[in-house]
Amino acid sequence: MLNNLTIQTIIAASFGIGLALLFGNPDWLEARNPLYDCILLLKSVFLSSLRMLIAPLIFFSLINGITGIGNTIRLKRLGGVTISYYLVTTSIATVLALIAVFFIHPWTAYPPVMETVAISDNRLLDPNADSITLVVSGLLTQAFTNPFSALVDLNILGIVTNAFLIGLGMVLVLPADSPLFRSIRDINQVIAKILGWVIRLLPIGIFAILFDFTLKTAADSGHSAAFLNQLLHFSLLVISITLAHGMLVLPAIAYFFTGTTPVRLFRNIARPMLVAFSTSSSSATLPITMRAAEENLKIPPTVSSFVLPLGATMNMDGTALFEALAAVFLAYLFGIELTTIMIFTIFMMAMVASIGAPGMPSASMAGMQMVMLAVGIPLEAIAILLVIERPLDTIRTAVNVEGDLVGALFVSSRLR
């Protein structure tokens, strides 16, 4: 059931922890040691290569998303219904996550573990802005920045605003068959390929991250036990909310809007969901998803051939839900207090990041960094998520694919 990368990552993780426990020496933290230096090098190269992709990935995939939406709306009803369904269900998933984490946050029983780490200065909101006008003017200044400096400074709001305006301009000015649309799609494919290479390095990155982490915490076993508990609680919450969305919310939508009972739904979509679970990739599952839609759910090919490929790249309920929960979790671990505006920022950024993530294994890790930057969580924190990322990706990808299929059912019933 598990794909290779997952198995490799689990082996690498055990190797990292085991090696640090058996041969690691806490003195290495003070005095330099060539082996430990090499491991730290691997860790920082891996994290830097992930960070390298944030700006181009978000910028181009958003332009692609906006032009995709624009060209889709030209298709009038089909496009409008599809996009509305995608946006509404992704918002439901994200709000569900944020409401749940408001009530259930067992990790707060332990103190934040990373208090000492400095808060990132790329944060969207100025913590000293004490009036709404200052907050708004700070946001607007960041939003309307020239695209080059926004990309260089990793100014997320600037990148998102520029991508949105460029995409909108393209849709309004260029004919639908303009080569520029194609070029943007091509650039996206190239970036996705590079992201794929970086993700191939995940086992090496995880090995180095866990070796370093174990060495730092082995001396203080109480501390590491607390941290492992926090990680476990977080993972269980992610799994429960993802399952709630997949087993309750989406089947309820299918039942109330299309009359498909949950039993019929799951019987007909079990195969693509299993493939998504085992490949952790909505895009790789697409052929199976299309087949289940047409053969089992009897969705007309005119609808499925349009709704499903679009959904595989832009409709990711599980991903948005995960990113929102992860941001709240990491904010706690780093001792960052979240205001209402920051929670709203997390909501918006998780939505944007899920639209921007390609349907590949661990793809949301690049966009996740954008959500983190927005609220001032240091990018290093991504290492914490990477530790538990692979098993969680399986379930969220299955729910992503389920969301696309329910979307196809919904759209075909609306257009009947």
Residues near ligand ASP (CB under 6 A) = 280-282, 316, 319, 357, 359-364, 393, 396-397, 400
Q: Which is nearer to ligand ASP, 212 or 393 (CB)?
A: 393
Closer Cβ to ligand ASP, 12 or 314, answer by number: 314
In 3D space, the residue among 301, 302, 294, 275 whose CA is nearest the CA of residue 402 turns out to be: 275
Nearer to ligand ASP, 83 or 316 (CB): 316
CB 168 within 8 A of CB 63: no
- Least Å distance between CB 314 and ligand ASP? 11
The least distance separating ligand ASP from the CB of residue 237, rounded to whole angstroms, comes to 17
Please, what is the minimum distance in Å from the beta carbon of residue 316 to ligand ASP? 5
Phi, psi at 24, each rounded to 5°: -65, 145
Task: Report, in Å, the least distance between residue 363 CB and ligand ASP.
Answer: 4
Min separation Cβ 319 and ligand ASP, Å: 4
Closest CA to 415 of 87, 80, 92: 80
Q: How far is the CB of 289 from ligand ASP (least distance, A)?
A: 11
Q: Report in angstroms the alpha-carbon separations of 188 from 62, 237, 357.
A: 10, 33, 11
Least distance CB 284 / ligand ASP (angstroms):
8
Count of CB atoms situated within 10 Å of the CB of 261:
11
Q: Give 55 or 316: the residue with its C-beta nearer to ligand ASP.
A: 316
Secondary structure (H, E, C), 128-164: CCCCHHHHHHHHHHHHCCCHHHHHHCCCHHHHHHHHH
Distance CA 20, CA 364 (A): 29
Please list, in sequence order, all residues whose beta carbon lies within 8 angstroms of the beta carbon of residue 188, skipping any fewer than 6 positions away: 60, 61, 64, 358
Q: Which is nearer to ligand ASP, 258 or 280 (CB)?
A: 280
Of 210 and 368, the one with the shorter C-beta distance to ligand ASP is: 368
- Cβ distance to ligand ASP smaller for residue 12 or 275: 275
Shortest spacing between CB 7 and ligand ASP, in angstroms: 16
- Give the nearer residue to ligand ASP in terms of CB position, either 61 or 142: 61
Residue 200 sits at the vertex; the CA angle it makes with 196 and 202, to the nearest 5 degrees, is 120
The angle, 0 to 180 degrees and rounded to 10, between the axes of the packed helices 54-73 and 77-103 is: 130
The rounded distance, in Å, linking the Cα atoms of 391 and 48 is 23
Position 357: which residue type? A
DSSP string, 42-57: HHHHHHHHHHHTHHHH
DSSP 31: S
Q: Which is nearer to ligand ASP, 167 or 311 (CB)?
A: 311
From residue 46, give the alpha-carbon distance in Å to each of 52, 158, 216, 389: 10, 26, 19, 15
Closest approach, Cβ 182 to ligand ASP, in A, equals 23
